[in-house]
Structure 1
Amino acid sequence: MRTMITIIELLMFLLFITPSYLAQETNLTDYAALLAFKSHLMSEPNNNLAGNWSSKTNFCDWLGVSCSNQRVVALQLPGLALGGRISPDIANLTQLMVLDLSNNDLSGSLPGELGHLHSLRLVNVTRNYLQGSIPANISHCQELEQLYLSDNMITGSIPKEMGLLSNLKALRLNNNNLT
């Protein structure tokens, strides 16, 4: 009888630990994407991320990171004077709904990989030094409601594909070099 109770206890333990273990496995991608994002930053004068984004803590507890079911759903790092480029690995945050990198010193272009983030609802990269054109495949983000690209150095024309964003409620493109 004692053996049967031990087996039942073991099965119950496995039942509760397995989903947790599997959730951690799927989060390695999110963890790696956040580290890649950080590695593309060339300057972070306030050391907010350096002091907080540590392997000693769960990435869901990192500054500016919000999670649901151990998946990153928001990356909000406005006004931290972050310099560098936006890593294309951000596309590996497949559950990302909110991306706010406004009021920083980011340069380079908006990665075309943003178009792979089908859950995105808000993108705010206002007041940076972003160049290049608006990626046409941003139109693949069918949940996108707010797109703020103002006060950068974005060039080219507004992609006609953006007309496919049926949920788009707010679009700000002012103070760029768009034609």
Structure 2
Amino acid sequence: MASALRVLGVDPGLTRCGVGVVDVLPDRRATLVHVGVVRSAPDEPIALRLATIAAGIREVLREHRPDVLAVERVFAQHNRQSVMGTAQASGIALLIAAEHGVPAATHTPSEVKAAITGYGAADKRQVQAMVARVLRLDRAPEPADAADALALALCHAWRRGHTAATPEEGALTPAQRAWRDAERLARR
């Protein structure tokens, strides 16, 4: 039996940093290993908040020993303070991966949405519903940051994780087939 790829997904944020670990087989079937949120108090100094996030990510990394870490790529937002916090938390996750010798990758929100739902502009509810469906959960993990971390992990595993040259057509989900076809069109 083929071995699973274990991916730690991190949805960076200063107040709530989502963390999710999944095992994904080469045929794209996925199993939930861990999901949670690392919280820091908004009234604490930024250095303490980042230390809290770092400690939470380190704990998940030590306990679950992922093969790779996937984190949301920071994108421009209207709220400069929000994007700064996201960037700082993202940097912490990438640094911890490097310290532990774990390969790391970043994915844009639209890339994650397209991989999970087949639509790059899907809303949070659609992403949460698909995460629950893919992982065979009774309901979507809450808060949304937790589900987003799992979506990041799944996106990474499905898009880059396993090295099979061309997966069997039947192993691809409809969203993955749509993504593959869109990439082919874009290359023309």
TM-score of the aligned structures, taking structure 1 as reference length: 0.24
Q: Whose RCO is larger (CA < 8 A, sep 6+)? A: 2
Bigger Cα Rg = 1
If each structure's helix is expressed as a fraction of its own residues, which one has the higher value? Answer: 2
